[in-house]
Amino acid sequence: MKNVKQYEFWFITGSQHLYGEEVIKTVEDHSKAMVEGLANDPLLPAKIIFKSVVTTPDEITRVCEEANYDENCAGIITWCHTFSPSKMWISGLTKLSKPWLHLHTQFNRTIPVQEIDMDFMNLNQSAHGDREHGFIGARLRKARKIVVGYWEDIAVREKIGSWMRSAIGVAVSRSLKVVRYGDNMRYVAVTEGDKVEAEIKLGWQVNTRAVGDLVGLINQVTEVEIDTLMAEYEQKYDIATDQIEQVRYQAKVQLGIQKSLELGDFGAFTTTFEDLHGLNQLPGLACQDLMAKGYGFGGEGDWKVAAMTHIMKAMAQGINKGTSFMEDYTYDLTLGNELILGAHMLEVCPTVAQNRPRIEVHPLGIGAKSDPARLVFDGKAGKAIVASLVDMGGRLRLIVNDIECVKPFDMPNLPVAGVMWRPEPNLQTSAEAWILAGGAHHSVLSFDLTADHMRDFAEMMDIEFVHINKDTDINELKRDLFLADLAWKLK
């Protein structure tokens, strides 16, 4: 996974020649001062670089084209200190394929009541210059984030930082390669989808590798390599089993999968218990430890959730609260305290663990293979989201539910990792809304990201976004889904 600090955002200031060279120089100095202030703020996860003051259509087109071609540039931020006539921006913005944030701010916080004169007015024109700039975004129907407020304010910087994470998600998504070891679980609907549509909209290359070829790589793993990974396990996890050979087998599988992922430059992968030909165990610990290293994973061939797990982990870099593949497993329907227990057959990412995970070996009722080693732990408490991407036929829909994770019950006989949560606004409305919208049983659970990150991502990717939250009302949601169905057919 590319380090978040490698991504750059280009700050471009719009102006024109009308004001003379001296004013343009001042505009540049002020822009540089603002960018320097923003660059030193840890609220911004990636680099922000002052690019230029642009004053002609050709300059604007050139910088937009450069942004498109530069693989480290994850987006542009524009601002108009002075007036920048927007017809100059049509060519550049039409060509721009990177995310765009329009920062509506001004260099001075306050009006200098004693000093203000017409020179000051001609320099500090964002209030109307940025409206001219905003019109062309609207006229072009161009997706963009608008952030309003003084550039030194924390709220403004938080919004810029949040958008940067979404834009990094776009960059990761557009270059993501996903590998499927085996097909989707037989007869399952929601894990299916149009891979061509996904590549057109989201950039994902979703391909397959034969499980037999993967087993070939696994069989080439040496005992010395297994010893090294076992030592790493011992540092991070408690080995709470005597069946060391079963654990060593997962290490071997993990190293084989990792080799295959590296060979194909894959960022996400799926397995399926229905195709384990030549494998002795369902990969459990192997998938969990690979997820902790940033790979996306989806069970039962669910390539959409695998891709989203990787993208959301990339967006969340540096926050480090935890993001995992998840499944709504079972409910506690105690009246007034309804909860969801999320888990999977094996594969929950240890980044969401509240305690040190234990490596255990237990039988698995499904798959008819040897008892797999897995990490067992309790999930953290705290605010989080669950996100699910579904294919509605003709369009993709991203559904996000705000949730409050709680300390899981003490469940001594549960041999898998579990996370427990109360969905907003409550289980009844949340589950009704989720089911109405067609949300999957698989999701990505993230303590790092918020619905705002995912909404911005969906807007940039031009896919539908549904947010289930504390204000969700079922009848309003039904109307929204009905109208969205019509709107997306017309788009």
Which parts of this chain interact with Mn ion (CB under 5 A)?
Answer: 299-300, 327
Least distance in Å: CB of 417 to Mn ion?
14
DSSP-derived letter for residue 365 is S
Least distance in Å: CB of 267 to Mn ion?
20
Number of residue whose CB is nearest Mn ion: 299
Identity of the residue, 84 or 272, whose beta carbon is nearer to Mn ion in the bound complex: 272
What does the block give as tokens for 133?
Answer: 């700039």
**Within 10 Å of residue 449's Cβ, how many Cβ atoms?**
26
Strand, helix or coil for residue 397: strand
Identity of the residue, 327 or 424, whose beta carbon is nearer to Mn ion in the bound complex: 327
DSSP-derived letter for residue 191 is T
Least distance in Å: CB of 343 to Mn ion?
10
Distances (CA, A) of 329 to 10, 117, 416: 44, 66, 11
Least distance in Å: CB of 172 to Mn ion?
24
Identity of the residue, 169 or 301, whose beta carbon is nearer to Mn ion in the bound complex: 301
- The dihedrals phi and psi of 184, each to the nearest 5 degrees, come to -65, 155
The answer to whether 377 and 408 have CB atoms below 8 angstroms apart is: no
* Strand runs labelled E in 305-461: 323-332, 339-342, 358-361, 373-376, 382-391, 396-406, 419-423, 442-446
Torsion sign over Cα 431, 441, 236, 248: positive
Identity of the residue, 124 or 388, whose beta carbon is nearer to Mn ion in the bound complex: 388
Identity of the residue, 335 or 366, whose beta carbon is nearer to Mn ion in the bound complex: 366
The answer to whether 251 and 258 have CB atoms below 8 angstroms apart is: no
Identity of the residue, 147 or 419, whose beta carbon is nearer to Mn ion in the bound complex: 419
Helix 303-315 / helix 154-174 crossing angle, nearest 10 deg? 140
Least distance in Å: CB of 407 to Mn ion?
24
The answer to whether 329 and 387 have CB atoms below 8 angstroms apart is: no
The answer to whether 283 and 217 have CB atoms below 8 angstroms apart is: no
Least distance in Å: CB of 386 to Mn ion?
14
Identity of the residue, 327 or 456, whose beta carbon is nearer to Mn ion in the bound complex: 327
Least distance in Å: CB of 275 to Mn ion?
15
Least distance in Å: CB of 299 to Mn ion?
4
Identity of the residue, 92 or 299, whose beta carbon is nearer to Mn ion in the bound complex: 299
Cβ within 8 Å of residue 405, ≥6 positions away: 379, 380, 381, 382, 383, 384, 419, 420, 421, 447
Cβ within 8 Å of residue 232, ≥6 positions away: none
Identity of the residue, 43 or 188, whose beta carbon is nearer to Mn ion in the bound complex: 188
Identity of the residue, 129 or 299, whose beta carbon is nearer to Mn ion in the bound complex: 299
Torsion sign over Cα 185, 189, 195, 198: negative
Among the listed residues 136, 140, 199, the one whose alpha carbon sits nearest the alpha carbon of residue 173: 199
Helix count (H) and strand count (E) of the chain?
15, 19
Least distance in Å: CB of 368 to Mn ion?
17
Least distance in Å: CB of 302 to Mn ion?
7
